Amino acid sequence: MGFSGDGLPFIGELPGRPRVKYLAGHTGHGLGFGFLGARRLVDVALDGAPVGWLGAGRRSLPRA
């Protein structure tokens, strides 16, 4: 399983490869976050929508 420090998945694109997008770090919440994250990723990839608060560049705080 892929984990993130704040428990939320990451959406982003590979540096230098703007056509390659990813959605990762579901932290055990794959079904719910996977569906919503995939919808957001499609909006980003097809419509150029901003990633928003799931962006891979956000500061991920360690979980307590």
pLDDT tens per residue, range 28-59:
776 778 888 899 999 999 998 998 888 888 87
35 — phi, psi (to 5°)? -65, -50
Residue among 16, 9, 17, 19 nearest 48 (CA): 19
Give me the numbers of helices (H) and strands (E) for the chain, helices first please.
1, 2
* Sign of the alpha-carbon torsion through 14, 19, 20, 26: positive
Claim: this prediction has a pTM higher than 0.75: no
Q: Where are the domains of the chain?
A: 10-54
45 DSSP 8-state letter: H
